[in-house]
Structure 1
Amino acid sequence: MSSEAVGRYMPAEVTLDDLTAMMAADEHHRYEISPEGVLSVMPPPGYAHAIIATELMGWLLAGGVPAKQVAQAVGLRILGRHGGVGGRIPDLVVWSKVQAEAVWLPVTDVWLVVEILSPGSEGTDLVTKRVEYAAAGIPQYWVIDQDQAQTVTMHRLDGDHYTVQASMPLAWLLNTQPGEHGLG
């Protein structure tokens, strides 16, 4: 089913169940919704994006983070300040413990969320999601740019907002251990 067909049957208020159905019907797009009800429709990540996520996941696993505590492109239930419920699909998530199987997981045990910037996602990843993840209490938020250095900017929760902990090329990060960054 195309995104046009999904849009034809759009409910007045989109729930996470609606989002799940839309994704099942349209394999060519990724759907997210902010806690305020703003729907985002994105194409699937490209090859370079996927390779960055795979390299980072391999680094985490090789560094001792258990495989059942790391996942790519899994849904997180994001609660808003005014009672709304959103659903975000980060590129990579690391939990402090194994999660129960569900489509939209709670953020309670999340240690780290990683977003890889793609053309068009910069505003959402650098501003909107940063605010949402901080409000949800996620301790670390990393953003990876697809620039030549594949710059990783590590944000650490400081009260109710993130501060930059470090920024380095992905190749440098991959020569460290996850434990040096509070993981594993």
Structure 2
Amino acid sequence: MTALPQPVSAGSFDHPLTVADYMALPEEPASRLELQEGSVVMSPRPTFRHQKCINELYTQLRDQVSDDLDLASEVEVDLRLVPDTHPGTVRVPDLVVVRSAAVDRLDAEGGALRPDEVVLAVEILSPGSRRTDSIIKHSEYADAGIGHYWIIDRTDGPSLTACHLGGEFGYVDAEPVKGVFETDSPFPARVDLAALV
């Protein structure tokens, strides 16, 4: 008889985890795990409406990204904020746009995406993630060098706040946009925000 794997508990580790430790954990189908400075952070899977928003955004962007870019939802990004032997940070953005070469590297090596492979990270705010997405991830993604970060707030219209690296001071945040969001950076795109609700 084979024992079922035990679920991962946020408090079940006697030491902070490196990224390698985290990547070796068993998959958790009922929850979403991230690694924050060596500690496993568990959040529930996205709600139906949250997932629908991710899917609609993916659909809208799919044909707008260039051939050298790819889209994916809920993939792990090793932020590489510390050396590999130190307690690490791995985030799972709602959506990422990455360089196509990153997909080939993952096929060959496995592991997580690297920040220099991520062109755009997107988080969709939910009641349980508002502070984390707006403040903590905002700072972490900038520190990791991810050039562009979009924050979508479904409760406010919906709206999209586009953030881009502004040198040593982290992200520069544009004013939130409602209705239709249009940009030329990091690639030409047009998003009908009303369709994301």
TM-score bucket of the superposed structures, by smaller chain: 0.7 to 0.9
State the alpha-carbon separation in 2 of the partners of residues 163 and 109 from structure 1: 20
Per the alignment, residue 171 of structure 2 pairs with: 162
**Superposed CA offset, 1:126-158 (max 9, x none):** 111111110111111111112151211111110
Per the alignment, residue 63 of structure 2 pairs with: 62
Q: 2:137 aligns with which of 124, 129, 134?
A: 129
CA contact (8 A) 1:23 1:31 kept: no
Displacement of 1:21 in angstroms is 4.7
State the alpha-carbon separation in 1 of the partners of residues 26 and 31 from structure 2: 7
CA contact (8 A) 2:161 2:176 kept: yes
State the alpha-carbon separation in 2 of the partners of residues 131 and 141 from structure 1: 10
State the alpha-carbon separation in 2 of the partners of residues 158 and 121 from structure 1: 24
Matched, 1:85 2:52: no
Per the alignment, residue 181 of structure 1 pairs with: 185
Q: Percent identity?
A: 28
Unaligned stretches of 5+ residues in structure 1: none
State the alpha-carbon separation in 1 of the partners of residues 79 and 146 from structure 2: 10
Matched, 1:95 2:98: yes
Unaligned stretches of 5+ residues in structure 2: 189-197
CA contact (8 A) 1:22 1:31 kept: no
Name the TM-score, length of structure 1 as normaliser: 0.82
CA contact (8 A) 2:82 2:88 kept: no
Code of the residue aligned with 2:185 in structure 1: it is H
Displacement of 1:48 in angstroms is 1.2
CA contact (8 A) 1:29 1:41 kept: yes
Per the alignment, residue 33 of structure 2 pairs with: 31
CA contact (8 A) 1:19 1:31 kept: no
Per the alignment, residue 50 of structure 2 pairs with: 49
Code of the residue aligned with 1:12 in structure 2: it is H
Secondary structure, in 3 states, of the residue corresponding to 1:58?
A: helix
Displacement of 1:14 in angstroms is 2.2
Q: 1:16 aligns with which of 19, 38, 47?
A: 19
Displacement of 1:81 in angstroms is 5.3
CA contact (8 A) 2:32 2:43 kept: yes
Name the TM-score, length of structure 2 as normaliser: 0.77
Code of the residue aligned with 1:61 in structure 2: it is R
Aligned residues: 176
Root mean square deviation of aligned Cα: 2.5
State the alpha-carbon separation in 2 of the partners of residues 23 and 143 from structure 1: 29
Q: 1:95 to 1:151 in 2, by over 3 A?
A: same
Q: 1:111 to 1:63 in 2, by over 3 A?
A: same
CA contact (8 A) 1:111 1:183 kept: no
Per the alignment, residue 76 of structure 2 pairs with: 75
